[in-house]
Amino acid sequence: MFFLVCFDIVDNRVRYRVVKILKGYGTRVQKSVFECANMTEYKFMKMQSDLEEIIDHGEDTIRYYPLCKHCVGQVEFSGTGNPPNTRAYSVS
């Protein structure tokens, strides 16, 4: 599965930790957006669990958008950047 993960984290220290976790699963494409390719159900649940443990549920937001292979192939963008990276990442 391919996920687009978007977040809005209030605290800078927590945001740094969120970014560190997400770098183990995907590619940072914008300051608060990661593309996570080739996610198994286990990897997704592990990533989500790790993130849920550190955020402030009263102030922070993380959204997980699953994209099918067809949808990933249809991604368009303007400006700098590269097409979605579909290579696998390992959990650190």
Distance CA 78, CA 2 (A): 21
Q: What is the pLDDT of residue 84?
A: 66
Q: Which burial class, exposed, middle or buried, applies to 35 when counting CB atoms under 10 A from its CB (0-12, 13-18, 19+)?
A: buried
Quote the pTM value: 0.83
List the domains of the chain with CATH numbers. Answer: 2-73 (3.30.70.240)
Question: What is the side-by-side strand order in the sheet with 27-30?
Answer: 27-30, 33-36, 2-8, 61-67
State pLDDT tens for residues 39-79.
999 999 999 999 999 999 999 999 999 998 888 877 777 77
- Within 10 A of 10 (CB to CB), how many other CB atoms are there? 12
60 is in an annotated binding site: no
Alpha helices in 55-91 (DSSP H): 69-73
